[in-house]
Amino acid sequence: MYVCLCEGVTDTQIRDAVYEGCCSYREVRGSLGIASQCGKCACLAKQVVRETIAEV
């Protein structure tokens, strides 16, 4: 599912970024460019990052 429509980033890409070493929302945002335009995805993106970090 798309989380960030502006940048075309999916939840899978966000999870992969965490698996590959990003350990905070800020790092994922820097790596994928999420929430860099309209910002509407920030809340959901944070949630996905938080859930994924809790799993690993």
Interaction of residue 38 with ligand FES, rule CB under 6 A: yes
Contacts 24+ apart (CB under 8 A), 15-20: 15/48, 15/52, 18/49, 18/52, 18/53, 18/56, 19/52, 19/56
The smaller minimum CB distance to ligand FES, of residues 31 and 36, is found at 36
The smaller minimum CB distance to ligand FES, of residues 10 and 36, is found at 36
Interaction of residue 37 with ligand FES, rule CB under 6 A: yes
Per CB under 6 A, residues contacting ligand FES are 4-7, 34-41
